[in-house]
Amino acid sequence: MTPGASGALLLALAATVDRDQQVLLADPGYPCNRNLIRMCEAAPVGIPVGASTDYQLTAGLVADRWAPPTRAVLLATPSNPTGTLVAPKELAAVAAEAERRGGLCFVDEIYGELVYDRPPATVLAAPGLDDRSPVFVVNSFSKTFGMTGWRLGWMVCPEWALPAVEALAQNAFISPPAPAQYGSLAAFTPEVWAIVEERRRAFASRRDVLVDGLRAAGFGVPVMPQGAFYVYARSDGIDGDSLRLARRLLDEAGVAAVPGLDFGDHEPEAHLRFSYTTSLDQIREGVRRLTAWRQEAGSSRSPT
């Protein structure tokens, strides 16, 4: 048990990654993961990904970019900011590729239960995996159970890594908060899992409305998000500078989105991340504002 999924990933990295080693990860990706790698004096190596691979790494990409300093590969499925998944067979293939090269595979499954149109999957179900396999899985109560701020996560790690992980945890933060641990016991009841399923259906409906609205407003969504609660939309058809566009949308349309520069170096100026954590009514209103703004922009001003 750890103080959130970030605490779990930091422990996993600190126990296994040394100075000047490299960790491969998808670009775009969650920015804190890069910073946690740097905290361990290792180097995050972003691999550009796009719609052709569902904005995710593949075993082929990992094999192509693996180098002598490479220690590990880090995956997030579903991903922030793209909401896309690594298919189970590909997930197993990436883990096998890392093991074949004497490396490690870290898998962030924090959104693993918030998956739509298909059953949730975990790398821990991959064939041939055992207690000595070099696979670390991090997760949290935050997203599935709406416990953001409770700082309660967990990690599944190889048995050989457990002594180092425990020693680091004891010295870094001792344990996650006790009240959060007691509160989390409610998650293991049928009543709570019924709520999780209800939330999953609600998120799927919000996703559908947002994606349809973004496409109608001129944004590109080449891959339907399969999980989490984000849409990573191409915005360069509207404005070639996503930071400028994010400010314009906030000031002129009253809609908040995050520019791609927060998530990596691969075409950040061409993307915005939209989140659908708010209510369906709010999302419909946001789509209405975007559509009206686009119509006004088309009639009265040209994007620069």
Indicate if 212 and 248 belong to the same structural domain.
Answer: yes
- Going by DSSP bridges, is the β-strand pair 70-76/22-27 parallel, antiparallel, or unpaired? parallel
Cβ pair 77, 295 in contact under 8 A: no
Owning domain of residue 14: 4-187
Q: Pseudo-torsion of CA 138, 31, 145, 56, nearest 10°?
A: -70
Each residue of 46-93: pLDDT tens digit?
A: 999 999 999 999 999 999 999 999 999 999 999 999 999 999 999 999
Indicate if 18 and 93 belong to the same structural domain.
Answer: yes
Each residue of 150-186: pLDDT tens digit?
A: 999 999 999 999 999 999 999 999 999 999 999 999 9
Mean pLDDT across the chain: 95
- Domain end residue (candidates: 170, 187, 204): 187
- Residues sharing a CB contact under 8 Å with residue 289, sequence separation 6 or more, in sequence order: 253, 254, 255
Residue 302 has pLDDT above 50, yes or no: no
Nearest to 111 by CA among 90, 150, 82: 82
Each residue of 239-265: pLDDT tens digit?
A: 999 999 999 999 999 999 999 999 999
DSSP β-bridge partners for residue 115: 227
Indicate if 228 and 155 belong to the same structural domain.
Answer: no
Task: Using DSSP, state whether 222 is helix, strand or coil.
Answer: coil
Cβ pair 273, 219 in contact under 8 A: no
Indicate if 240 and 255 belong to the same structural domain.
Answer: yes
For residue 255, the 8-state DSSP code is: -
Token match 């953001």: residue?
148
Indicate if 146 and 255 belong to the same structural domain.
Answer: no
pTM of the full structure: 0.94
CA dihedral over 12, 44, 111, 126, signed as positive or negative: negative
We report the CATH number of the domain holding residue 182 as 3.40.640.10
Cβ pair 72, 213 in contact under 8 A: no
Q: How far apart are alpha carbons 279 and 205 in whole angstroms?
A: 10
How crowded is the C-beta side of 233, counted as CA atoms within 13 Å?
29
Indicate if 87 and 200 belong to the same structural domain.
Answer: no
Task: Using DSSP, state whether 81 is helix, strand or coil.
Answer: coil
The arithmetic mean of pLDDT across residues 195-217, rounded, is: 97
What integer pLDDT is reported at residue 298 of this predicted model?
A: 66
Helical H segments across the chain, by residue range:
4-16, 31-39, 59-65, 88-100, 162-172, 178-184, 190-216, 242-248, 280-300
Residue 303 has pLDDT above 50, yes or no: no
- Residues sharing a CB contact under 8 Å with residue 143, sequence separation 6 or more, in sequence order: 110, 111, 113, 114, 228
What integer pLDDT is reported at residue 126 of this predicted model?
A: 87
- Domain end residue (candidates: 134, 157, 187): 187
Indicate if 177 and 37 belong to the same structural domain.
Answer: yes
Indicate if 34 and 53 belong to the same structural domain.
Answer: yes
Each residue of 108-134: pLDDT tens digit?
A: 999 999 999 899 999 999 888 888 889
Token match 């490299």: residue?
22
We report the CATH number of the domain holding residue 234 as 3.90.1150.10
Each residue of 140-153: pLDDT tens digit?
A: 999 999 999 999 99
